[in-house]
């Protein structure tokens, strides 16, 4: 690998903590994208802004001539979480927090852009993709719909995510599924209200809904093989607002996650059938709004070995895991890897790190340099020869 001058850990930490202090949620990453674009311009990259509103793409052409085109992606958005940390760089915006480490991902990709722009001795082109709205809102899908890969064609795209529970200095590269598909649903059950002292005069939608929630797990456990992992979870249950009224309407929300797309379609089908039959049985009305959200994130098998080899050079082969189980969490990088070959790796954030989306979470600044080196050395390896 060619010698490269990397940004100092102190500078990377300064950038990361500034982003952490100023979290911005989906499609509102105005300050973050402005900083990203300004720095990319300072380093001589071609900069395009406004893709999916706040998305930024920085283009760096190698000095060696034509070659492959690759994309490197980082997400920029924060979450609607009230931070419980009290350190100096804690969120300055109440109710918003970088609880998933996107502040670190943005910093690492910026660090890689600076390092590579200082010595672009490679063939081909790198597109640095800074994506808005990864959390729930599908910013990657919107960027693609607005012509991301037509305007910035790539042969493959690469991304990483910090991973609490995995030791700092370790990484995981999956040969296939990495993150699950993600669907959401809203279910409204409507019976007839009554006085709480005379429930026989109404249809007890609350009781009917409680029974339903306890039975819905059977859609997975009794419909599919245990070798086809899937999760069906009701996450919200809203009904009634007083002591002596039996509510007429109950509203449920939840999520479905799996890896197999045929299984996903079958779960949706059986869920609709189950709700229809259940409503008829209890003589109530039921309205199900089931929304397909993120596809499963599945690594392109032909590209994972190169990523693992780069990580082995940086971290040592003993610290690169190839056999970790995939996560039932989801990631909208899946939209990108559906359009072009993609690889998504996990970079250990520390075994004692608070979990992702936890109000006490913080990105481990000690792994910033590893992320920068991964993006840089992967780029140099992929672009070492003309196309």
2 within a domain of the structure (yes/no): no
Regarding whether 288 and 301 lie in a shared domain, the answer is no
Q: What is the pTM of this model?
A: 0.92
283 within a domain of the structure (yes/no): yes
Say which DSSP state 248 is in: S
Regarding whether 266 and 316 lie in a shared domain, the answer is no
Q: Which of 251, 266, 294 is the last residue of a domain?
A: 294
Distance CA 379, CA 58 (A): 14
387 within a domain of the structure (yes/no): no
4 within a domain of the structure (yes/no): no
Distance CA 375, CA 48 (A): 20
351 within a domain of the structure (yes/no): yes
Regarding whether 29 and 151 lie in a shared domain, the answer is yes
What is the pLDDT averaged over residues 170-184?
96
3 within a domain of the structure (yes/no): no
Q: Could you tell me which residues are beta bridge partners of residue 179?
A: 297, 327
Percent of the chain with pLDDT over 70: 99
Query: DSSP assignment of 91-152, as one string?
Result: -SSTT-B--SSHHHHHHHHHHHHHHHHH---SSSEEEEEEE---SSS-HHHHHHHTTHHHHS
Question: Does the structure show a pLDDT above 50 at 1?
Answer: no
User: Which tens digit of pLDDT belongs to each residue from 132-167?
Assistant: 999 989 999 999 999 999 999 999 999 999 999 999
Distance CA 55, CA 133 (A): 9
Contact, 200 vs 345, CB < 8 A?
no
Contact, 103 vs 12, CB < 8 A?
no
What is the pLDDT averaged over residues 95-100?
98
pLDDT of residue 59: 98
Q: Which two three-digit tokens encode residue 157?
A: 């795209």
Question: Does the structure show a pLDDT above 60 at 178?
Answer: yes
pLDDT of residue 98: 98
Regarding whether 164 and 89 lie in a shared domain, the answer is yes
Q: Which two three-digit tokens encode residue 7?
A: 């940004």
Regarding whether 147 and 191 lie in a shared domain, the answer is no
Question: Does the structure show a pLDDT above 70 at 169?
Answer: yes
258 within a domain of the structure (yes/no): yes
Regarding whether 191 and 126 lie in a shared domain, the answer is no
Regarding whether 25 and 136 lie in a shared domain, the answer is yes
Regarding whether 279 and 186 lie in a shared domain, the answer is yes
Q: Which two three-digit tokens encode residue 204?
A: 């007890």
What is the pLDDT averaged over residues 78-85?
97
User: Which tens digit of pLDDT belongs to each residue from 26-56?
Assistant: 999 999 999 999 999 999 999 999 999 999 9
User: Which tens digit of pLDDT belongs to each residue from 183-239?
Assistant: 999 999 999 999 999 999 999 999 999 999 999 888 888 888 888 899 999 999 999
Regarding whether 361 and 223 lie in a shared domain, the answer is no
pLDDT of residue 3: 60
Question: Does the structure show a pLDDT above 60 at 2?
Answer: no
The enclosing domain of 60 has a CATH number of: 3.40.630.10
The enclosing domain of 282 has a CATH number of: 3.30.70.360
What is the pLDDT averaged over residues 160-183?
97
Q: Give 3's Cβ-side CA count (13 Å radius).
A: 0
Regarding whether 147 and 285 lie in a shared domain, the answer is no
1 within a domain of the structure (yes/no): no
How many residues are there in the chain?
387
User: Which tens digit of pLDDT belongs to each residue from 286-342?
Assistant: 999 999 999 999 999 999 999 999 999 999 999 999 989 999 999 999 999 999 999
Structural domain containing residue 216? 181-294
pLDDT of residue 112: 98
The overall average pLDDT reported for the chain is 95
Q: Which of 252, 272, 294 is the last residue of a domain?
A: 294
Task: Indicate the number of domains in the chain.
Answer: 2
């Amino acid at each position: 690998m060619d010698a490269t001058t990397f940004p100092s850990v102190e500078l990377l930490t300064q950038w990361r903590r500034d982003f952490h202090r100023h979290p911005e949620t989906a499609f509102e990453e105005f300050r973050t994208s402005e900083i990203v674009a300004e720095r990319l311009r300072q380093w001589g990259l071609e900069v395009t802004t406004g893709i999916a509103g706040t998305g930024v793409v920085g283009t760096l052409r190698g000095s060696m001539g034509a070659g492959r085109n690759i994309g490197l992606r980082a997400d920029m958005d924060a979450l609607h979480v009230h931070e419980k940390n009290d350190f100096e760089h804690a969120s300055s915006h109440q109710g918003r927090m970088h609880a998933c480490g996107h502040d670190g991902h943005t910093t690492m990709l910026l660090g890689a852009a600076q390092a590579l722009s200082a010595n672009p001795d490679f063939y081909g082109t790198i597109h640095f993709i800074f994506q808005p709205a990864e959390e729930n809102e599908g910013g990657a899908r919107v960027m693609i719909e607005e012509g991301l890969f037509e305007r910035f064609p790539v042969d493959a795209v690469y991304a990483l995510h910090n991973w609490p529970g995995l030791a700092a200095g370790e990484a995981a590269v999956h040969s296939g599924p990495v993150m699950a598909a993600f669907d959401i649903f809203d279910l409204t059950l409507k019976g007839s209200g009554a006085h709480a002292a005379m429930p026989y005069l109404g249809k007890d939608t609350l009781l009917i809904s409680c029974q339903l929630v306890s039975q819905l797990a059977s859609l997975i456990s009794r419909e599919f093989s245990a070798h086809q992992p899937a999760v069906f979870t009701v996450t919200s249950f809203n009904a009634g607002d007083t002591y002596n009224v039996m509510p007429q309407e109950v509203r449920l929300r939840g999520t479905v996650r799996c890896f197999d797309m045929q299984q996903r379609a079958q779960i949706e089908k059986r869920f609709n059938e189950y709700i229809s039959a259940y409503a008829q049985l209890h003589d109530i009305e039921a309205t199900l709004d089931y929304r397909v959200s993120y596809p499963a994130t599945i690594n392109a098998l032909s590209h994972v070995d190169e990523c693992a080899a780069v990580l082995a050079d940086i971290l040592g082969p003993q610290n690169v895991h190839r056999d970790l189980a995939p996560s039932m969490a989801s990631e909208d990088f899946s939209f990108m890897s559906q359009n072009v070959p993609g690889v998504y790796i996990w970079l250990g954030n520390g075994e004692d790190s608070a979990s992702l989306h936890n109000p006490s979470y913080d990105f481990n600044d000690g792994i910033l340099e590893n992320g920068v080196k991964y993006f840089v050395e992967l780029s140099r390896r992929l672009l070492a020869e003309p196309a």
